Amino acid sequence: MTYAIAEAAHQSGLSIDTLRYYERIELIDPPARDSGGRRAYSDDDLAWLNFLTKLRTTGMPIRLMREYAKLRHQGLATATRRKQILVEHRKDVLDRIADLQTCLEVLNYKITNYEQIERDLAGVAGYEEATA
């Protein structure tokens, strides 16, 4: 199945401008063209875009994404380096998750603290109303 650029953008969650940018910086191959010369993205193209989106969402720099994309074109001989890129990036992602978990614990502590303050204030207000 093929997809026009608007549909590929919709399916991938990327903008049309981002698709063109990714093509220009060689993160994606230029898609096939239909009889009218319009871009026609394949399911394989969309799968690759989905992978790139995951890399970007996890904070991989464009520079590394480009290296990975170039290595991908060179075939299985580059599997070790591609794996190394992903292993190193996974470590970065795990470090970020640990940092975020620590931040979440602080937020949870503060929220619990404010909930206790609200309960205490509600109790004081109820006491004041009862004694008024």
Model confidence pLDDT, tens digit, residues 78-127 = 999 999 999 999 999 999 999 999 999 999 999 999 999 999 999 877 77
Same domain, 58 and 93: no
Integer Cα distance of 132 and 129 in angstroms: 5
Domain final residue, candidates 73, 90, 112: 73
Query: Is 132 or 78 the better-scoring residue by pLDDT?
Result: 78
User: Dihedrals φ, ψ of 41, to 5°?
Assistant: -85, 140
Domain count, the chain: 2
Please tell me whether residues 67 and 99 are part of one structural domain.
Answer: no
Q: What is the mean pLDDT of residues 57-63?
A: 97
- State percent of the chain over pLDDT 70: 97
Percentage of residues of the chain with pLDDT beyond 90: 90
Residue 86 CA to residue 83 CA, distance in Å, equals 5
| Residue 122 domain boundaries | 79-132
Tell me the pTM. 0.81
